[in-house]
Amino acid sequence: MSEMSELLVSRPHFDSRYVAQEGQPLKDPEATVKEDFYPSSGLATAGFRSAKYTTEEWHSNNYSILHQAVNDRNHAEKICLESKAFSSAAEAESLRAQSEGTRHLGERLQDIHFWKSELQRHIEELVAETDLLLGLKRRLEKALDTTEIPFAIATDNLSCRERRLGPDLVKDRVEEELIKEVDLIKSIQSLLKRTHSQVVSQIKSNREAKQTLELDWSDKEQAYSLDEQCGRLNNMSSHTQYHASSAAAQDQVSNGKAWVSSTRAGVAGALREERASAELRGLGGRVLLDTAEDLRAQSSCVERAFSHRCQEISLAHSQLETHLGEVLQQVGAQERSVLSLQQSLQNTQPPLRVAQTRLHLRSFRPHMELCRDPPQLSLVEEEAQIRARRDSLQQQLSGARASLASLEQSRMALEKDLGCKRHSLLIDLHKCLAHRARYPSVTALSGH
C-alpha cells in the first residue's frame, strides 16, 4: 500500500499543458480527471492517475515551451529595438532641447548684458548730473549768503543817510538808487531760494531714478549670474538635482515684453531726469550770472549817484566857504563902519553942547538985547544942523547895525549849512562809499 502511494499522485487542478494550448480555456478539472483517467487494477487507485505523461503530452509541452521561448525572444528583441530607438530619439531630443535651452540662455545673457550696460551708463550719468547739481546747490547757497553783504551795505547806507542834517536830508537820486538796490537784492534772494528749492527737488528725483536703476541693475546682475550658472550646466555636471515643482510657478512670473517694458521705463525716467538736470543746471548758471551782473550794475549806479552827489555837495561846500569868507570880510567892514558911526555920533556931542550952551546963555540977555541978531540966528542954525547930522548919523548907525545883524545871521546860516555839508560829505563819502568798497565781486556773487 505504501509503494502504491509513492506511484500515485493527485492531479493538479491546472496543468502546464495549458501553455501549449495557446490560451485555450481550461477544462473542468474533474472532467479532465475523468477523461484522462485510466482505471488501475485496484480499487485503491480510484480517483488517481499515473504520474507519467503521454508521449503526445511530452511533445506538446516541449513544443509549447519552445514556441513560447521564441515568441518571448522575438517580443524581447522588438522591445529592445523599440527601446533603443526610443532611447536614441529621447536622448537626441533631450540634447536638442538642452542645446536650444543653452542657446536661449546665451541670448538671454546677451540681452541682460546689454541692459546692464545701459543701466550702468545711465546710473553713471545720473551720478555725474547729481554731483553737478550738488555743486550748483553749493553755489546757490554761497551766492545767497553773499547777497547778505550787499543787503547790509545798502540798508546801512540808507540808515546812515537818515542822519543827515537840516536841508541836506533830502530824497535825492542816491536814496532812490539805494531803495532800488534793496528791492533788487530782495527779489534776487527770492529767485535764488526758488532755484535752490528746484535744485534740491531735482537732486531728490535724480537719486530716486538712480535707486530705481540700481535695483533693476542688481536684479539683472543676480539674474545674469544665475543664467550664466545655468548655461554652464550639462549632463556631466555633478551638482544638478531634481526639482519637481520648479516649473509650477511659471504662470506667476512676468513675460518678456513686461521685462523689456519695465527696464525701458526706468531708462526713460532716467533720461527725463538727466535732461531736466541739464536744463536746470543751465538755468541755475544763468540765474547766478545774471543776478551777479544785475547787482554789480545796480551797485555801479548807486556809486555813480554817490559820486555825483558828493561832487554837488563839495561844490556847494566850496561856494558856501567862499561866501562865508566874503561875509566875514563884510562883517568886519560893517563893524568898523558901526564903530566909525558911533565915533562920529559921539563927536557931535561937544559942538551941540557948545551951541546949546551959547543959546542958553544968550537967552538971559536983558530987554531989547534979547533979539534975533546974526549970532542968534547962526547959533540956532548951527544947533539945528548938528541935530540933523546926529539924526542922520543915528539912522545910518541903525542901518549899519541892522546890516551887521543880517551879516551875522548869514554867517551863522552859512556856517550851519557848511556843517551840514561837511556832515553829509562825511556820511556819503567817508562812510557810505567807504563801506561800499567791501561790495562783493561778480565772481563771489555768482557763487564761486
DSSP notation for 330-348: HHHHHHHHHHHHHHHHHHT
Does residue 287 belong to any structural domain of this protein? yes
User: Do 293 and 170 share a domain, yes or no?
Assistant: yes
Q: Is the pLDDT of residue 32 over 50?
A: no
Q: Kind of pairing, strands 49-50 and 8-9?
A: antiparallel
- In whole angstroms, give the CA distance from residue 48 to residue 323: 178
Does residue 440 belong to any structural domain of this protein? no
User: Do 11 and 71 share a domain, yes or no?
Assistant: yes
- In whole angstroms, give the CA distance from residue 95 to residue 100: 8
Does residue 326 belong to any structural domain of this protein? no
Torsions phi, psi for 23 (to 5 deg): 85, 10
User: Do 170 and 309 share a domain, yes or no?
Assistant: yes
- In whole angstroms, give the CA distance from residue 177 to residue 152: 15
pLDDT in tens, 387-426: 999 999 899 989 999 998 999 999 999 999 999 999 999 9
User: Do 124 and 62 share a domain, yes or no?
Assistant: no
Distances (CA, A) of 438 to 300, 393, 432, 445: 13, 65, 11, 12
Question: Is the pLDDT higher at 172 or at 7?
Answer: 172
Grid coordinates given for 127: 551720478
In this prediction, residue 48 carries a pLDDT of: 52
User: Do 73 and 104 share a domain, yes or no?
Assistant: no
Does residue 145 belong to any structural domain of this protein? yes
User: Do 199 and 303 share a domain, yes or no?
Assistant: yes
**167-172: average pLDDT:** 89
Burial of 161 (0-12, 13-18, 19+ CB in 10 A): buried
- In whole angstroms, give the CA distance from residue 349 to residue 403: 25
In this prediction, residue 231 carries a pLDDT of: 87
CB 173 within 8 A of CB 303: no
User: Do 217 and 283 share a domain, yes or no?
Assistant: yes
CB 308 within 8 A of CB 173: yes
Question: Is the pLDDT higher at 157 or at 250?
Answer: 157
User: Do 53 and 125 share a domain, yes or no?
Assistant: no
Non-local (6+) Cβ contacts of 419 within 8 A are 165
Lowest mean pLDDT among 20-29, 89-98, 126-135: 20-29
Does residue 427 belong to any structural domain of this protein? no
Q: Which residue has the cell 546949546?
A: 356
Tell me the residue range of the domain where 113 lies: 100-233+264-313
- In whole angstroms, give the CA distance from residue 231 to residue 99: 10
CB 140 within 8 A of CB 199: yes
Non-local (6+) Cβ contacts of 193 within 8 A are 144
In this prediction, residue 235 carries a pLDDT of: 83
**32-37: average pLDDT:** 43
Taking each helix axis from N to C terminus, what angle separates 256-347 and 173-231, rounded to the nearest 10 degrees?
160
Does residue 205 belong to any structural domain of this protein? yes
pLDDT in tens, 275-320: 999 999 999 999 999 999 999 999 999 999 999 999 999 999 999 9
Does residue 379 belong to any structural domain of this protein? no
Three-class secondary structure of residue 50 per DSSP: strand
Counting the structural domains of the chain, the total is: 2
- In whole angstroms, give the CA distance from residue 203 to residue 210: 10
* Residues written for the chain: 448
Round the average pLDDT of the chain to a whole number and report it. Answer: 85
Non-local (6+) Cβ contacts of 98 within 8 A are 234, 235
User: Do 149 and 180 share a domain, yes or no?
Assistant: yes
Question: Residue 35: pLDDT band by 50, 70, 90 thresholds?
Answer: very low
CB 133 within 8 A of CB 282: no
User: Do 110 and 26 share a domain, yes or no?
Assistant: no
Grid coordinates given for 144: 545767497
Does residue 18 belong to any structural domain of this protein? yes
User: Do 51 and 111 share a domain, yes or no?
Assistant: no
Q: Is the pLDDT of residue 138 over 90?
A: yes
Grid coordinates given for 290: 545774471
Report which DSSP code applies to 438: T
User: Do 219 and 309 share a domain, yes or no?
Assistant: yes
- In whole angstroms, give the CA distance from residue 23 to residue 358: 207
